[in-house]
Structure 1
Amino acid sequence: MSARRILIIAVITAFSLVTACSGGGASDGTTALPNGADLVRKAADATRAVKSAAFSMETEGTPPVPVKKASGRLSGTGDADGTLQIDVMGSLQEINFVLIGETVHFKGVTGGFQQMSRSQLAAIYDPSAILNPEKGVVQLLTNALDAKTQAAEKLDGVDTYRVSATLSQQVLATMVPGLTQSVDAVLWIDKATSRLLKADLPLTGGKVIVAFSDYDVPVQVTAPAK
């Protein structure tokens, strides 16, 4: 075999090895991913510092939870406003709420605003618990188990890490009433801020999807006009 042919074979072989090595790293997609437990811990720390946020919750399928849809704004002081869609004996009822201090102003599709106490609303759904560092997202992330980073991907144009983790039923129930089981969830965590952007919670019969946005955008909750 000529020296030229040996050189050509050597170059082709070397090129093939380099391509195979670089291709394997790229297709694997996990080599450069950060540790899941570290991401969840950083997300808990980032949430602890949050002063306000917007949230949404919706169900897919027929998971066994009474609140089927919710959205609103949350302040760090515990005040909130938004809407709830609740299953009442098979009928969906939409409620507008304004939570200020210990008073909740609420109304249905018809009629004016009425009042209930914060504790009465909490028996149905307590949005103020979400940013409460002793009850809500902070505790949910702090107590998450077996966190694993699945991928780096974009969520609505934002660079995120997708992380799987088991979330405590006891903590989740403060934000999604009716849950009777721990959940093997999927979380999307903002790469830049470490804040939780979305949680996918599979349940018997369907799933609950919770999303957060407008972190630290000032929220001024005011009582409705009488």
Structure 2
Amino acid sequence: MSIRSLFSSPRPAPVPRGRPAPRRRARGWTFAPLLVALSLATACSSSPGGGALPGGPELMKKSAETMRSVRTVAFTIATEGRPPVPVRHAEGSLTSEGDAQGTIQVEVLGALQELAFVLTGDTVYFKGPTGGYQTMTREQLSAIYDPSAILDPAKGVPGLLAGATGAKTEAEEKIGGADAYRVAVHLPKQMVTTLVPGVNQEVDGQVWVDKATSRLVKASLPLGGEANAGTVLVTLDDYDVPVTITAPAK
């Protein structure tokens, strides 16, 4: 056999007259576009780690159950833009018993008022930049903002997650150095008001659920429209870290 014959294609055998030529079988490469399309479809429904993303409703249910067992948490509420809510910033720590302490910035007639607060029992201690502590009832504070409701099993974060509809897991992301699932959700107005007072609309937002613990670590809530539009960002961390909250000295 010659070298040329090794690299040349064999000639097809002659077809006898009166008999149709045999059909050639489709080559394997004709299925390549289909395989590529299937690969892309699989990649679009998978997490960066290669596994499929969990369903949104299942994540919300599991996170709601997990949040009901939380004993303490640190929280931060911040705003971007001009969302139509009076609270501009708040941060502090709270317990499942309803005690809390921290600071809050509230916009009053276009000016920011910052208050330090301590909630113990039915009494709220608060003070401005100068002077000592004054007191009000928890009911009076709730007209402004009651952060202790965040862990309330019915109307706090557990109820917010349980009442979310249209949940769809969008991606896996890093939040505070930990892996979390980002989930698009539709939230009822009465539930959002617990986290952010003054909300008078339903919200299509996003929540991030910690992959390892199923705890809520972040929520993004777009509010308002046109000139009065913005986003409220809620972050939760330091779960179950011991917290001691006592009445301040007068």
Mapped partners of 1:13, 1:157: distance in 2: 45
Answer with 141-150 or 26-35: which moved more: 26-35
Matched, 1:26 2:47: no
Question: How do 1:7-86 residues align onto structure 2 when only pairs under 5 Å count?
Answer: 22=39, 25-26=42-43, 29=46, 32-86=52-106
What's the offset of the Cα at 1:185? 1.0
Mapped partners of 2:159, 2:104: distance in 1: 23
Mapped partners of 1:207, 1:68: distance in 2: 11
1:93 matched residue in structure 2: 113
1:193 matched residue in structure 2: 213
Mapped partners of 1:25, 1:87: distance in 2: 48
Residue deviations 1:68-118 (CA, integer Å, cap 9, x gap): 110010111100000000001110000000000000110001111111111
Mapped partners of 1:122, 1:33: distance in 2: 38
Mapped partners of 1:182, 1:27: distance in 2: 29
Mapped partners of 2:114, 2:213: distance in 1: 34
What's the offset of the Cα at 1:176? 0.8
2:136 matched residue in structure 1: 116
Q: Provide the secondary structure at the position in 1 that maps to 2:151.
A: coil
Residue deviations 1:20-76 (CA, integer Å, cap 9, x gap): 755653355467111100000001000001011000101111111001110010111
Selected match of 1:209 from 221, 233, 238: 233
Q: How many residues align?
A: 220
Contact 2:83 2:231 in 1 (8 A): yes
Structure 2 counterpart of 1:129, one-letter code: A
2:187 matched residue in structure 1: 167
Q: Provide the secondary structure at the position in 1 that maps to 2:159.
A: helix
Mapped partners of 2:35, 2:209: distance in 1: 33
Matched, 1:179 2:199: yes
Mapped partners of 1:100, 1:139: distance in 2: 23
1:6 matched residue in structure 2: none
Is the radius of gyration larger for structure 1 or structure 2?
A: 2
Matched, 1:219 2:236: no
Contact 2:45 2:53 in 1 (8 A): no
Mapped partners of 2:78, 2:37: distance in 1: 44
Structure 1 counterpart of 2:241, one-letter code: V
Mapped partners of 1:21, 1:171: distance in 2: 40
TM-score by length of 1: 0.90
Answer with 19-28 or 113-122: which moved more: 19-28
What's the offset of the Cα at 1:139? 0.7
What's the offset of the Cα at 1:164? 0.5
Structure 2 counterpart of 1:154, one-letter code: K
Structure 1 counterpart of 2:189, one-letter code: Q
Q: Provide the secondary structure at the position in 2 that maps to 1:174.
A: helix
Contact 2:94 2:101 in 1 (8 A): yes
Q: Provide the secondary structure at the position in 2 that maps to 1:215.
A: coil
Contact 2:72 2:93 in 1 (8 A): yes
What's the offset of the Cα at 1:14? 8.9
Mapped partners of 1:43, 1:180: distance in 2: 25
Residue deviations 1:148-207 (CA, integer Å, cap 9, x gap): 000111112110100000011011112211100010010000000000000000011101
> Cα RMSD between the aligned structures?
2.1
Quote the sequence identity (%).
54
What's the offset of the Cα at 1:13? 8.1
